[in-house]
Structure 1
């Protein structure tokens, strides 16, 4: 039986957008945002170049059945949705790989704002520099978890007829990955391992999907996806402190 509160999970991204407007957090929102703008422009250009050829190749693998060819528009739509979902999380992977030290500190500042308690003694720019190797290794762990499952879904998406469910599977998987991706920042600040985090989110899977779904949707919207990353970090931190201790005295976002 799935546990958690899906609707409560839905509210965390909105809380994150409110939190990023706080004066003490703005600097660590703006710096990664500049990085994200540059990365998104490069990634979008590369994906746009390869999209048409990938669709043509996939359509060429279809059997020469008249009813399948008549539904070619549907396959274009489904493959387009899959590519968009791949682009959304691909952008998140690259942006977070570079911005991870900033996001870890942003999560730390957000938690202090919500709880009034210090998370770490390594504050400021020195703490960010010190955490770079650990933050990068954490991102590599997430990529290692993501890639084999993404490849499996990509294979499913290339099988005629079966691929009709590929877009839905991609969306559900992306939603789960978004929750893992962002809740990992406050979890890492508390030295919680990535496998342990997966188990914790699995214990409240409905809340995790409730948080991850709007983040996944926002990541697919041009321009909005540029600011959703820091908002998701702040929202994930609110998720972390509230879901771990529902009865805690936490300041509203």
Structure 2
């Protein structure tokens, strides 16, 4: 298959849907482009390896110690409640004898919820750091793609200063995203306490914010 026919195929794939439904075709376009130009794989493989290294460091340095901390904190709840019930007046202690037993179940629930929150937090940190540190390769990938599509490279050549600029640009972009999430996410969280209209608005707003 010639270069011209390859790019015609990419163009046809990209022009099939219109509007917001065009997004699902982008991974296919990317795979076709990588198949046609194997030299671009370096711009893809290196950020992947960077993300794997960052993920291993985050999970080893943050997830495992935090998981042990959660276990130590949650395991002390039944004992604390048992001591609290024992210190109550006799009539209250008899009424609340079930509390220490129920706390064991509460311990398991808390471990589960905190584990989910910990995994989500670690994943978010991985995404943020991966996007920032992978910015130089993403920028190079964009330039090479522009060269293939437009026939020319953007003005400038790869250098350390450009890599630093790419990282700084990615960092400011992620900070803006974080600020936007806080500014819009907190009101949406409050709207969840106003069912059913507030919950519906919060759901739509959350999807729009995530997009």
TM-score bucket (shorter structure)? 0.5 to 0.7
TM-score by length of 1: 0.46
Partner of 1:251: none
> Which structure's CA Rg is the greater one?
2
1:49 and 2:65 aligned: yes
Alpha-carbon deviation of 1:16? 3.2
1:135 and 2:166 aligned: yes
Alpha-carbon deviation of 1:109? 1.4
Structure ranking higher on relative contact order (CA contacts 8 Å, 6+ apart) = 1
Partner of 1:144: 175
TM-score by length of 2: 0.53
- Contact map agreement 2:47 2:134 (CA 8 A) in 1: yes
Unaligned runs of 5+ in 2: 1-18, 82-95, 194-198
- Contact map agreement 1:102 1:128 (CA 8 A) in 2: no
Partner of 1:92: 127
Structure-2 change in CA distance of 1:51 and 1:13 (3 Å):
farther
Matches within 5 A, 1:9-20: 9-20=23-34
Q: Secondary structure at the match of 1:26?
A: helix
Partner of 1:120: 154
1:83 and 2:83 aligned: no
Structure (1/2) with the larger helix percentage: 2
Unaligned runs of 5+ in 1: 177-208, 210-253
Alpha-carbon deviation of 1:107? 1.5
Alpha-carbon deviation of 1:20? 3.9
Partner of 1:180: none
Partner of 1:221: none
Structure-2 change in CA distance of 1:155 and 1:60 (3 Å):
farther
Of 128, 134, 139, the residue aligned with 1:104 is: 139
Of 10, 24, 35, the residue aligned with 2:50 is: 35
Q: Secondary structure at the match of 1:121?
A: coil
